[in-house]
Amino acid sequence: MGSLDLSSSEASVTSEFWSTLPIAPDRQVVRNILGALTSRIAQVHDVPAPHGFFESASSEEWATACALIPSAQCTADLLGATLEVLLSPEERRAHGAHFTPPHVADVVVGLAFDELDLRSRPAPPLVWDPASGGGAFLLAAARQLDEIGRWTRKEIVSRMYASDVDPVALEVSGAALSLWSGSTTQPFTHRGDTLLDVAAAWPASYDVVVGNPPFLSQLRSGTSRDEARRQKLREVFEDVAAGYVDDSGLFLVLALTRLEADGIAALVLPDSILAARDSRSVRKAADELAEFRALWIDSCQSFDAAVDVVAPVFAKRGKPDDTHQGPGKTSVIFGSSPPVQLLRPGPSTWSPLLAGAQGVPVVATSSALRLDLKASVTAGFRQHFYGLSGAIRESQEIADPNELRLVTSGAIEPLRLLWGGRPVRFAGSKWSAPVVDLDLIEDGAVRTWFEARSVPKLLLATQTRVLEAVVDPVGVLLPSVPVLSLEPYDSDDLWLLAAAVSSPFASAWMATRNAGSGMSQGTFRVRSRELSGLPLPENQDAWFAGARHAQDAHEASSAGDDAAYVASMRALGGSMTGAYGVVSPESALWWWGRLRMPEGFAAEAY
């Protein structure tokens, strides 16, 4: 079932109808529109209008508008799609209410059902959506159970449960399933904060839990919890709810606790769940409760929330003390591509699954030498960002070697510093060549911190497709938060470290650990702690050759010789692949294809 055509059951409607819908209507108008649409769908399919749903809503105006919708487009999915259109962008963001396209629900539900022996069951499985929205997942489940041909539609719907904080969304879920069943049979619905409010008369556990819980980032003021709710969640989820864990992660833990012994859960979640530091408690809890069976990765950003999403599929462990039988594998599906089998990850990070699906090569080394034995990695904080206010000016003479240059992430490319050659942004303003006057920094602690950075070092960007570092041999470059400062204990190691950090191995190693942590698909976040643990090469001769090539690339870039820069980077890749003892050229080819090249060199062969 996981291979269903992605275009199946897609709800669409004429643009003329969408254009007639009012912007941010009040709740009664919303119910009037949805009531008229429910009646239209019931009429088209010659089924009873759902009892109890929108019965108080009536509007001749909207009945006339809905009558113009072509019969072929009057599907049960249309109710949920219309409800999303009727919500204002502010409502969607505040409640994390981004409804699921039917084709996504079909794929995710199919992956969950693939893990169950449905044909041997005497009754349909109990299916719960803890954040039902417009009912897309329950409709997808109903359709796929109906394809088995063992139960009536009424029987299927009578085994379904929908929870949501929004009463109108619950009405939509109920109406959609009732219309689909062709009867007045309704799913069980419960309005409330699902994470805190348990429906007392409902089953204690379910065969399948599916859904798309709200994404409520705790780093944004509009979606962060207030203190009272934070405390209540800590009482229910204990340490799992600590820190800045997204509500969607708590929904995953809740789903796993409510599964039958052989139950399956599949939820759509932001891909940050795979790697985010604040989600580690969720990953640990999930690993203790269930087995990670499959992972679907959205390849085309299907949601208006501008968030890359994944859908992990978990099977409940039979006993609390069950452990993995061997390393095990997880089936990973990237968009509509065929699944690949990857080693099942531990709770520290699930990023290797995303990295493997995105083609990041697997790299390994027996070296016990780590970067933190050769250098320190320092990251600035908020005070170091805001403390520069009033101390920055444009350079009067770009060639002045005594000026302290402020380097932002946008000015960093692999062994290429673009300061002075490309406008950058800092603190909401655009700068051509920003420099810092340390004497004008008012906070003494901040001034001391920047003075300590005035040493030979590397500066690294922190949101990237490959590790990108520039070299500061004399100590005149200052890192703008969040740029990392890598400072060797011995300045003679500067170019060796530049070669190691800029190597294909280092990028593949970091991408495998942090895939999904970046702000866009294919990027990853570079954190000081992980960078400090980067293995260093064992082959000293090849490493020294790589260091020479790193210095050549730096000097060629500084001189504006793009051809020599590209040639030096190519040589660096070869030397450092050998330095790490990597036999296959796969990692170097992957790295080369992701490097940002000078203009006119993008198609340069490796």
The total domain count for the chain is 2
Residue partners of 180: CB distance under 8 A and separation at least 6:
76, 139, 142, 143, 153, 157
Does residue 223 carry a pLDDT above 60? no
Residue at 6 is within a domain:
no
Same structural domain, 128 and 31: yes
Do residues 378 and 342 both lie within one domain? no
Q: Are residues 272 and 395 in the same domain?
A: no
Residues 409 and 531 in one domain: yes
291 and 240 housed in the same domain: yes
Asked whether residue 317 falls in the same domain as residue 454, the answer is no
pLDDT value at position 7? 32
Q: What is the pLDDT of residues 341-369, one digit of tens each?
A: 998 888 888 989 988 888 899 898 989 99
On whether both 185 and 132 belong to a single domain, the answer is: yes
Provide the pairing of β-strand 416-417 with 412-413: antiparallel
Answer whether residue 603 is part of any domain: no
Give the integer Cα–Cα distance in Å for 498 and 500.
6
- pLDDT tier at 224, thresholds 50, 70, 90: low
Q: Given 307, 333, 357, which residue is the final one in a domain?
A: 357
Statement: residue 77 has pLDDT above 80? yes
Q: Do 307 and 174 fall within a single domain? A: yes
Residue 7 maps to a domain = no
| Domain assignment of residue 457, yes or no | yes
Q: Give me the pLDDT at residue 156, please.
A: 97
**Residue-level pLDDT at 488:** 98
Give one DSSP letter per residue of 244-312, joined into a string: T--HHHHHHHHHHHTEEEEEEEEE-EEGGGGT-GGGHHHHHHHHHHEEEEEEEE-SS--STT---EEEE
- pLDDT tens-digit readout, 151-177: 999 999 999 999 999 999 999 999 999
Residue 122 within a domain:
yes
Element (H, E) at 332: strand 329-334
Q: Are strands 329-334 and 340-343 parallel, antiparallel or unpaired?
A: antiparallel
466: domain range? 371-594
Closest CA to 580 of 480, 475, 466, 502: 502
Q: Which of 322, 357, 392 is the last residue of a domain?
A: 357
Cα-based distances in Å from 114 to 9, 158, 294, 319: 19, 22, 10, 22
406 and 269 housed in the same domain: no
Tokens of 453: 């950075």
The DSSP code sequence of 130-171 is TT-TTSHHHHHHHHHHHHH-SS-HHHHHTTEEEEES-HHHHH
What is the CATH classification number for the domain harbouring 562?
A: 3.90.220.10
Q: Which CATH number is 289's domain given?
A: 3.40.50.12420
Coil/strand/helix, residue 435: strand
Is residue 257 packed enough to be buried (19+ CB in 10 Å), middle (13-18) or exposed (0-12)? middle
Residues 353 and 376 in one domain: no
As a whole-number percent, the residues of the chain with pLDDT over 90 amount to: 62
Residues 394-429 pLDDT 10s: 998 777 778 999 999 999 999 999 999 888 889 888
Q: Which of 331, 357, 383 is the last residue of a domain?
A: 357
**Other beta carbons within 10 Å of 10:** 14
Asked if residue 306 and residue 171 are part of one domain, the reply reads yes
- Single-letter code of the amino acid located at 195: L
Task: Looking at the structure, tell me whether residues 351 and 385 fall in a common domain.
Answer: no
